Amino acid sequence: MTRKFFGTDGIRGRTNQPPMTAEMAQRVGQAAGAHFLRGDHRHRVVIGKDTRLSGYMMETALISGFTSVGMDVVMVGPVPTPAVALLTRSMRADLGVMISASHNPYVDNGIKLFGPDGYKLSDKDERAIEKLIEQPPRLVDAPLIGRSRKIEDARGRYIHFAKSTFPEELRLDGLKVVIDCANGAAYEVAPSALWELGAEVVAMGVSPNGLNINDGCGSTAPAALQARVVEEGAHIGIALDGDADRVIIVDEKGRIVDGDQLMALIAISWARRGLLEGDGIVATVMSNLGLERFLETNGLNLVRTQVGDRYVLEAMRARGFNVGGEQSGHIILSDYATTGDGLVAALQVLASLVEDGRPASEILHQFDPLPQLLKNVRFGGGAPLEAASVKSAIASAERKLQGVGRLVIRKSGTEALIRVMAEGEDQALVEEVVDSICEAVKAA
């Protein structure tokens, strides 16, 4: 059954346009609240947000929705997405909500939901909530209307948690770290955690004004961080996205290190220390074939899933893995967190840097990736992948890559984009097939 409102990571869109309106946020609060009203206890929902201007509007509308169906609301302010997951579970809440469009520009926003266990909702729960959204709300009698309050120690709780994931016997003393917080949710917690662990911290993207989240900064725009790391003579750079559930690393030479290399490093490090479960890791179809070959060489497995960190996590839980993630930098370490956590993943990388003693450029280059190219084609509507001309271009590309590469084409679950990715031994062939499909999609 196709979901109408939920994509690969909650509900997302341009604010003040369907589905990302205040009215819809109120309906989501009413529907999700009604769905999680179970038992006779006083029900509670934790609501966090990033730094977008529209966060105020969406938060107020959600509060209205939740309280109208009898749920109490705890507001935690701007915190990373993984902090909401953590607080939902630790505060014994029935539901958690993160208001964020992650790496998207400020004009977009989104609603991510977490169950009482701190995990993102299943497809089944999302379908049930969608059904309730389209029905009249189950409003409670006046004496049962919920209350809302704000807690001030949420960031401190998350900082304490993040530091607890760093090996107790290690410190970051003597390490110069540049961190770019994307003017987003981690603008206070990430620099504070690193400083408290002993690092010399150079902070960027820590002046949010509601309009500058992900604007030329963060994990999707790391050029400024690359230059700053070299300029400062720093040992390493860390780039988070708007809600801090993903991370990209920059080595001391200013070179970008993606999620595939980070997963390889963590997998080998944890395997060496006897911490890796499942004899491998879980990644998506977008991860480079070089990662798969590297793991095989080291006696480890790679399990692939469809794109989306929720699907990675589902496979991890089903198969007993504790490391997984995406090339884009969503790294899930299930020993510590129920969702991707950019800061926690970065701390594992920093621990390896301290223990090894070699420069980041040496320890972070675990394998040589195969030539890979990803291009996005924006579309205004319809189903371009169903066009005969596009299907023909895809079939032709698959024939050319057969035995020497692979092709992944999908519609984005968060934006109006068709994503076309190919990889193989021959860079020129990879570029040829990607360009041919992109042109076909544009024409369609």
As a whole number of Å, the CA-based R_g of the chain is: 22
CA dihedral 382, 388, 390, 393 (to 10 degrees): 180
Looking at beta carbons, which pairs linking 276-280 to residues 24 or more positions away fall under 8 Å? Answer: 276/300, 276/322, 276/323, 277/320, 277/321, 277/322, 277/323, 278/316, 278/319, 278/320, 278/321, 278/322, 280/321
Catalytic residue, chosen from 54, 100, 102, 334, is: 102
**Which two tokens mark 258?**
């993606």
Active site residue 207: no
Residue with tokens 């967190």: 337
**Residues assigned a catalytic role:** 102
